[in-house]
Amino acid sequence: MAFAPAIAGVGMAAPAAGGILGAAGSLFSGQAQSNMYNYQAGIAQMNAQVAQQNANYAIAVGGIQAEDSGLKTRAEVGRTIAAQGAGNIDPNSGSAKLVRGSEIAIGQENQSVIRSDAAKRAYGFQVQGAEDTAQAGLYQMGASTAQTAGEIGAITSIVGGAGSVSSKWLQGSSSFGGGGGSQPYTGASDYAIY
């Protein structure tokens, strides 16, 4: 029967080791998931920054294109005035003035369309940036949740392992005649001198 306590010890050590390994696995798994979510959050934040840069670029390009359109309109009006003057037409009266007014109005409308298109492109980028920022927030929340889930899993593994060790201890004590603790006091005979 000398091997019985050793076998019981092995029976108790296995669940304890399993609980510890399970706890470590839960912690590492939670940390790995947290790291993955943090990485994805970083990518989403970079995407949001790129979207904002694209929005700024779209507005800047639209401004340049609108200015270019305005320069073309002024050049066209200038050519019209020169042509009218060369044809001995007074550019400041009658239909000649109306023609110039129409050219200016069309040029202003073109500039408005260019600026509006640029604003729409910029708005699309801003919406994308807002979505990326929100996605980054969700990933950060996922990272925190994964970390917490790993810690809870580790605690659960340790508690489960401890419960299993306790169960094995009680089984071993009852199987091998031990009470699992101190012997009950039975009276004066415990102090008998032999």
Q: Report whether pLDDT(21) > 50.
A: yes
In the block, residue with structure tokens 């037409």: 89
Q: Please give the model's pTM, rounded to 2 decimal places.
A: 0.57
User: Average model confidence (pLDDT) for the chain?
Assistant: 77
26-66 confidence digits (pLDDT tens): 667 777 788 788 888 888 899 999 999 999 999 999 999 99
89-141 confidence digits (pLDDT tens): 888 889 999 999 999 999 999 999 999 999 999 999 999 999 999 988 888 88
